[in-house]
Amino acid sequence: MRVTTLNCGFHGDIRGGLKAVEAALLQVPEAVTEPHMFRLEAHVSGDLSVADALQWSMHTPADSRAFWADRSDEVVVAGIGEAWTLGGLGWTVGDGLESLQRLMAPAPKRLRAFGGLCFHRELRSSGAWKAFGAWRFAVPRVELGRDSGGVWLAAHVQGSPKDWTRRLAEAQAVITRLLLVEPGDHHGASTRPEVNYQSIKDVPNVDGWREAVRAALAKIESTSLQKVVLARQRRVDLATAPDPLALLARLAAHEPDAFRFCLQPTAESAFVGASPERLIRVQGQHVTSEALAGTRPRSSDLAQDNAWAAELLASEKDRREHRLVADMVAETLTELCENVEPHGEPTVMALANVQHLHSRIEAQTNGVPSIASLLLALHPTPAVGGTPRAAARSAIETLEGFQRGLYAAPVGWIGGAGTAEFTVAIRSALVERDAISLFSGAGIVAGSDPDAEWSEIDGKIAALWLAFGLGRGER
């Protein structure tokens, strides 16, 4: 696929950028002789916060949307509509990601396809996850973004010779519709969604959970399985339809140091989350991954906060769990890269609400790194799957009783100029038209107590519940 970028110049505000893109659409040819994507980009003055980007997207009419903000707010992108999608059945994921990386390689760095691949690499996704496919990526029709180079507004037109006229007309219609939104319509709107729930269902329920954990413990005692991360789903049926981005805005305010994301392929389904964990970052021949395992809370009292950090660093149990993940990541990168730097001793990564043991693992490749190979080799890490990997995955599929979909799976983007970034999609939820499903898990090892693990997950789900503004939910 050929990619052409049209620079629309510098404009004072978002509306001016839209008008510049509308004018630039007249420069796009009325026909093409090969598959082609045009990116029309206007520079916009001022700054763009995560909250501003979410507000703009929330109040821009669209059935499909995407949102990404990395942990340091270095890259923030709000996308509406879809100009181009790529996805397929589970057995196509390796070749499909290789093809996507190849197609994106000559594109400018800011051009990104956002998406993810399901946890289990199912043949196909079903039920509530059907719209996401076994793997799926999309380039937004229109996006508002910010990086170190400033703020931009861009539109994309993609098509082949046979459908080019229709695709160009679709892009023109979207820009026209956006210009009908009154300036300032998105400013000052509440990020507090009015969400009233009708019923709650835990999958599995407490008895099913106890049975699953006991079965996992039996496997740990009698097989090579050492650890398995079992998850729970809490489905909340709603009285009113929620806005996924309004929910994400609430969550982002609680988790400002996380990777914040939304994938919404249709009006009926969206996946949102705020995860602290990077799976992989690729910048040319430089590859970065990390281990994030071992946790303590934060405190507004500096002495207590420092005490918890010191306790975390001194905990042999937490350091052992962390070393397991760090060693696995380093060994995997060693198989795929030519030069892997030793990760050394872990440090404490202090986030807004918790602090973790953290190790950064850096690597270099002599050639172009395969993003598909990196993702498929690193996922799932012991932190979300278990060890050994094959035995843990088999136990999860047998014991959990629900489809994980994108929960705890790689979610992120593949971009131009040999760039990509993916998070591990924990602290996340599936948002449907009339329900929200919250997910969390716990690592089961020899000696684990089913009721204690149930309570631990209850605490994690309660934090998501409150962040989403669902109330205290007396049950």
User: For the chain, how long is the longest CA-to-CA vector?
Assistant: 68
| Peptide bond between residue 380 and the one before it cis (omega within 30 degrees of 0) | yes
Residues in the chain: 475
HSE (side-chain half, CA atoms, 13 Å) at 463 = 20
Q: Is there a contact between 114 and 414 (Cβ–Cβ < 8 Å)?
A: no
- The percent helix, strand, coil of the chain (3-state, each to 5) is 35, 35, 30
- Name residue, tokens 């060890």: 387
Total Cβ atoms within 10 A of residue 127: 8
**Residues linked to residue 263 through DSSP beta bridges, in sequence order:** 66, 271
Q: Could you give the CA distance from residue 107 to residue 267 in angstroms, rounded to a whole number? A: 29
Helices (H), 337-449: 371-378, 389-399
What DSSP assignment string belongs to 434-475? SEEEEEEEEEEETT--HHHHHHHHHHHHHHHHHHTT------
Q: Classify residue 472 by burial, with Cβ atoms within 10 Å: 0-12, 13-18, 19+.
A: exposed
Q: Is there a contact between 139 and 64 (Cβ–Cβ < 8 Å)?
A: no
28 residue type, one letter: V
Q: Produce one character per residue of 204-224: b if its CB has 16 or more CB atoms within 10 Å, e if not.
A: beeeebbebbebbbebbeeee
Q: Is there a contact between 118 and 404 (Cβ–Cβ < 8 Å)?
A: yes
Q: Could you give the CA distance from residue 412 to residue 424 in angstroms, rounded to a whole number? A: 9
CA-CA-CA-CA dihedral for 207, 213, 215, 218, to nearest 10: -140
DSSP code of residue 241: P
The residues assigned a catalytic role are 227, 277
Q: Is there a contact between 272 and 244 (Cβ–Cβ < 8 Å)?
A: yes
